[in-house]
Structure 1
Amino acid sequence: MDTKVLDNAVVRNAKAAQRLGLPDDADLVRLERLRYVDDKLKQHVITFLSAARFPKVVDQDFSHQSLYDFLEHNYAVRLVENDAAVRVHALDTRMAWYFGVPDGTQVLEMDSTVIDAFGSTIAFGTTLHAPGSGEITFIVRAQKDSSAA
């Protein structure tokens, strides 16, 4: 998979800050990337993180390294959960141009909230999946009941 970084900057975004459990006016790192497989765009990803907690992120080039590996190595963050919400989304003009499809083309859009081993929300992001390439797999397991013997 190849990655092209479109933006890596400190911004303010009230919706993302709320999802991260931060004040609406908190400084956030906004990392915007395009992900390609065999030279075909498969995903557009925007990820938000706390700029105060992860200041080194904004200075990195994530074209050739994993954001989550970087967080683990530089901040000792162990990610254990990714809560996702998936919906159908109509592409706007900019995103349709990137994907090479007409405006309004329907794609899968996924919100992702990443949580560490201590229950803290580390990242919030949105991913658009290329038309015809989105697949969702769910695994549902019953919780083990320790009282049953």
Structure 2
Amino acid sequence: MSSLLASNHQPMYYQLKQLIIDQIQNRELKANDMLPTESEYCRKYGISKAPVRQALSELEAENYIYKIRGKGSFVLSGYIKQKGDCLRSFSEDIIAMGHKPGARLIEQKYVKADKETAKCLNIEDGDEVLKVVRLRYIDDEIYSINYSYFSEARFPKIGEVDFSAVSIMKEIQDRFHSDVTNATVVLEAVATTSEMAKYLERKVGSPLLQMNRTTYFRINQIEQPLEFVRVYFVPDKYKFEVNLTKK
């Protein structure tokens, strides 16, 4: 038996499952790669078929792999795990994970702020804000649709920026000489609308994960809201990890 499994007191199926998850997350196994057969896992690790089957069944249930009858098990297009203890741009996050980020601009125009947007940006209801809608891609696959809002009063002429080609966070920092400091995040499950279905290739009414985030920056030693964004993720491609410490 492999020392990787023999030295651990966890059940065999769990050890094998975690081993495969590590291989997927480290990109040793990539999207649509075929996994070894049950027999190959048995021979390699000196275990019976029962724990191998349990490991593969749980991996399928948790959307790590998919099975094709008569052909085998394959790696599902992987989810992205974002950690809640680090504030970086989408592109920085995705590149750090070894993936290729991408974006497509859907809409960029000035609108009147609704109550939620005004509250998050600390402006008046009805104030003018720049609305930027973008599709985000990871390795050329649709990952999310983002609705971002910026205060025109706080960022004059921000509408002149071509957000089809730049990182929003980097452009704000460079153009307005501001430092991003922190963000607040709220996650909730929502149903896919007809507009989202068109862009995310989902059925109307199917579940999505919505993240509302307000990002803050410091300019002239004063902290102010920089951006309010509603992000709608395809749920099987996103996980959010938060590390909690006891005070």
For 1:72, which of 173, 176, 185 is the aligned residue? 173
Match of 2:160 in 1: 59
Q: Find the aligned partners of 1:105 and 1:59 in 2 and give their Cα distance.
A: 36
The structure number with the bigger radius of gyration is 2
Q: CA deviation at 1:4?
A: 0.6
Greater RCO (CA < 8 Å, at least 6 residues apart): 1
> Which residue of the partner structure matches residue 236 of structure 2?
132
| Secondary structure of the corresponding residue to residue 72 of structure 1 | helix
Equivalent of 1:14 in 84, 104, 114? 114
Aligned CA distance change for structure 1 residues 119 and 139 (closer, same or farther; 3 Å) = farther
* Superposition RMSD in Å: 1.4
- One-letter amino acid of the counterpart of residue 111, structure 2: V
Deviates more, 1:51-60 or 1:118-127: 51-60
Which position in structure 1 is the counterpart of 2:197?
A: 96
- Note if contact 1:2-1:64 (Cα within 8 Å) is conserved in structure 2: no
CA displacement at 1:29 relative to structure 2: 0.7
The offset of 1:142, in angstroms, is 4.8
- % identity of equivalent residues: 22
> 2:206 aligns to what?
105
Instruction: Show the counterpart of 2:226.
Output: 122
Q: Distance in 1 between matches of 2:168 and 2:155?
A: 11
> Structure 2 unaligned runs (5+)?
1-100
Aligned to 1:40: 141
Aligned-residue offset at 1:13: 2.0
Q: How does 1:17-28 map to 2 (within 5 A)?
A: 17-28=118-129
**Number of matched pairs:** 143
- What per-residue deviation string (whole Å, max 9, x for no partner) do you get for residues 71-127 of structure 1? 111101111111100000100112112111211110110000101133311111100
Runs of 4+ residues deviating >4 angstroms: none
TM-score normalised to the size of structure 1?
Answer: 0.89
Q: Which structure is higher in strand share?
A: 1
Q: Aligned to 2:238, what secondary structure does the other structure show? A: coil
| TM-score, normalised by the number of residues in structure 2 | 0.55
Higher helix fraction (1 or 2) = 2
Q: Per-residue displacement from partner, 1:7-51 (whole Å, max 9, x unpaired)?
A: 111110222112111011211011110011122110100111101
| Distance of 2:244 and 2:223 partners within structure 1 | 21
